[in-house]
Amino acid sequence: MRLNQWSWLGTRAPRARDTRGFTLIELLVVIAIIAVLIGLLLPAVQKVREADARMKCSNTLKQLGLAMHNYHDVNSKFPPGYAFNFFQKGEENFWTMYVLPFIEQGNIKFDYSWGIYGSGTTNNQGTQWGATINGTSVTQVVPLLLCPSDTGVSLCPAGYYGTPTGLSMWRSNYACTFSADGLLYEPTAVIPWSTCHQGARNPSTASGLRALFNWNVQRGIRDITDGTSNTAMLAEQLVGATTTSDFRGWWSNDWGGAYTHMLAPNSSSGDNIPNYKEYCVAGVNRPCTYTGKCWSDVTAGARSNHTGGVNIALADGSVHFISNSINQTTWVALGSINGGEVIGNY
């Protein structure tokens, strides 16, 4: 009898190698599993990123609140929100300029006696202002004042009112509280070229409510009769699209660096200006309306891309996250320095 050639070794004959690959169904199952895992992971990653961005914005507001108080310690009052003709005709200064030295940005130097648009003659802004005065300083971006949840650096039109060739002003994500329940400018503000904020169109005319900052006023802790822990100082604001003339966040120009509690946080109602549509360009979470009757008939709300609300800094330096659904009466009360309201939980 003939023996199998492998039997004497006590082993089995080797089988042919199985070269079969994945079937199409198996491959599709694997891809589906991976897709499900990615779908579960991405929202978690996005939540972590957003939580980090929200914390960074909160920390910036904390630093700005501290800077405001350091300025107050030196000057016995907070900086003006919008200063016009403090030193000469046509000169304009904005609160951001005053706090830079207190957030370790003292190397960005401004000559306040000229301001941004100083000319020396009434309403003839910009004629004597250029790179030799404040033109370069106003174009130097401060990364601290950009919220990572927004678009990043948003530049204003190049060459605006004497900005040096190739340089642009820029937008900040942080604004001061200018009004509790009305237009940006309070009824007593004397603005040479505009008066319609002084009448019945401005709710603050009837209510008498005032905020911590405004046109040509400097207020201190002694003026906050509602208490510093009940009064808003700063909030987040989404910036206009880069290279446009959108006023939102344009801290060194008309209407910029200011917001009102007339609009709820992240309100679906548009930020309102006169019919200058190039100065309010609607975008995601940045609606616009154009029903203002004059230059000073303007509103701008607190806005952010954070889920569910915005960060604000109170006058005591504390920072709070405010829900979009906050009671409007409470929101208005937080905006005022003199309402005498009793503010509950929010």
Over residues 330-346, the pLDDT tens digits come to 999 999 999 999 898 89
Q: Which of 159, 304, 313, 334 is nearest to 239 (CA)?
A: 304
What mean pLDDT value characterizes the chain?
88
3-state secondary structure at position 234: strand
Q: How much is the pLDDT for 33?
A: 86
Q: The pTM is what?
A: 0.85
Q: In what order do the strands lie in the sheet with 258-260?
A: 258-260, 174-179, 232-236, 309-314, 319-323
Helix, strand and coil in the chain, % to nearest 5: 30, 10, 60
Contact 239, 173 (CB under 8 A): yes
Strands 82-84 and 92-94: antiparallel
Task: Place 162 in a pLDDT band, splitting at 50, 70 and 90.
Answer: low
User: Residue 123: pLDDT band by 50, 70, 90 thresholds?
Assistant: low
Tell me whether residue 342 is exposed, middle or buried, using C-beta atoms within 10 angstroms of its C-beta: 0 to 12, 13 to 18, 19 or more.
Answer: exposed
What's the mean pLDDT in 121-138? Answer: 63
Residue whose C-alpha is closest to residue 221's, from 319, 316, 313? 316
In tens, the pLDDT along 138-148 reads 999 999 999 99
Beta 232-236 vs 271-272: how paired, if at all?
Answer: unpaired
pLDDT band at 85 (very low <50, low <70, confident <90, very high): confident
Instruction: State residue 6's pLDDT score.
Output: 43
Both tokens of 119, joined, read 């000319």
CA distances from residue 41 to 8, 47, 52, 55 in whole angstroms, order as listed: 58, 10, 17, 21
Helix (H, G, I), strand (E, B) or coil at 193: coil
**H runs (alpha helix) in 90-157:** 95-99
Question: Strand, coil or helix: what is 301?
Answer: coil
From the list 155, 185, 138, the residue with the least C-alpha distance to 246 is 155
